[in-house]
Amino acid sequence: MPWKEVSAMSQRKEFVMLADSEDISFRSLCRRFGISPGTGYKLLDRYRREGDAGLADRSRRPRRSPAQTASTIETAVAELRLQHPAWGGRKLRARLQALGVEPLPAPSTITDILRRHGLLHPDESAKHKAWRRFEHAAPNDLWQMDFKGHVALAHGRCHPLTVLDDHSRFNLCLAACANEQSATVQDALSDVFRRYGLPARMTMDNGAPWGDDGNTPHTALTVWLMRLDISVSHSRPYHPQTQGKDERFHRTLAIEVLRGHCFADLATAQSRFDCWRDSYNLERPHEALQLRPPASRYRPSERPFPERLPPVEYAPDHVVRKVDQSGKLSFQGRALYVSKAFRGLPLGIRPTIEDGLWDLYFAQHKINQIDLRNNDSST
């Protein structure tokens, strides 16, 4: 998609930070951002020579002066804190360093400055507790997805959809949705996949639209993801820590964006989300990343999003059966219930080393087992 007028600067910053990765084709990245390779090389060259200033319009004045006095540093600290009221001394120092502020004050000095300006809230520190999490080895190994509840608008509700890369904490999606329906999520994910490619796996909770509270964990949305060769996993019921990074992201979103705000409509909410997402990904120091922003550790996936779904195919050792409209398939004289999510689609059945036990596949993904050693009519 071409640059959007309201966020051209932030999109340029995201582009050049991702372009520094050697793990994705530069021309492919340009296509995803809707620009020509010539424009991409020009932006990258200007950024490497001039930093953030190289991404601005040529007529824009510099944002800072190289010669700063102690009073201007104190003013810079106070102004940055006002822009990001939830940031503490270490985050503010890391951001000031990224902006080229010199001499750089210590975190304790920044805390003193905040106290002098009445910008330090002692009660807030008690709310920030260290989280210990497992981290996947590379970007796009796992994405976490969830809705941040609903947010009241002046008229109606907003349902923020969030997708976070487990390795880098890069926020791939922050969408102001009108509902939590499968089609809404699929449309939002399609845009994300076009920009960043496909992950190896996605994890989500057990509720709609990605979980079925009935007999199976499969829905139309998860079937679509598996057909794109994305493995799907679900968190344990009543264990939100499985989605720990996205849950923590929701806390930050609530503190820095949602608290004390009532948006007029979805468009207003999305505009605010876009602005904050740029800051979160490109500027906000993340303590789990050694005070670097998430974009410094993220790179797009090498797996492109296919605009047309690939055919569902199986190896010769699979017995192929189509699921009927009731969610069942016929195998060896039995009607076996699978899930209505697979209606009209072929599934592959492959024998295991144990007699009477068969593995059930959808495309490359094992979804269940068929046990013919009993008389049960379900899988």
Summarised one tens digit per residue, pLDDT across range 201-217 is 999 887 778 776 555 67
Q: Do 155 and 187 belong to one domain?
A: yes
The model's pLDDT over 194-250, given as tens digits with 9 standing for 90+, comes to 999 999 999 988 777 877 655 567 899 999 999 999 999 887 655 555 567 888 888
131 occurs within a structural domain: no
Q: Do 151 and 243 belong to one domain?
A: yes
Q: What is the pLDDT of residue 375?
A: 63
67 occurs within a structural domain: no
Q: What is the pLDDT of residue 132?
A: 46
The model's pLDDT over 28-78, given as tens digits with 9 standing for 90+, comes to 888 888 888 888 888 888 888 888 888 876 554 455 545 444 778 888 887
Q: Do 119 and 228 belong to one domain?
A: no
Range of the domain at 361: 319-371
Number of structural domains the chain divides into: 4
Between 377 and 111, the higher pLDDT residue: 111
Q: Do 204 and 106 belong to one domain?
A: no
Q: Do 366 and 280 belong to one domain?
A: no
Q: What is the pLDDT of residue 22?
A: 66
Q: Do 168 and 253 belong to one domain?
A: yes
Which residue, of 96, 125, 154, is where some domain finishes? 125
Q: Do 111 and 197 belong to one domain?
A: no
pTM as predicted? 0.73
Q: Which tokens hold the place of 130? A: 């260290």
Q: Do 195 and 232 belong to one domain?
A: yes
Q: Do 191 and 119 belong to one domain?
A: no
Q: Do 245 and 172 belong to one domain?
A: yes
pLDDT above 80: residue 117:
no
314 occurs within a structural domain: no
Q: What is the pLDDT of residue 216?
A: 67
Q: What is the pLDDT of residue 6?
A: 45
138 occurs within a structural domain: no
265 occurs within a structural domain: yes
377 occurs within a structural domain: no
pLDDT above 70: residue 26:
yes
Q: Do 287 and 332 belong to one domain?
A: no
Q: Do 101 and 205 belong to one domain?
A: no
355 occurs within a structural domain: yes
357 occurs within a structural domain: yes
Which residue, of 296, 331, 358, is where some domain finishes? 296
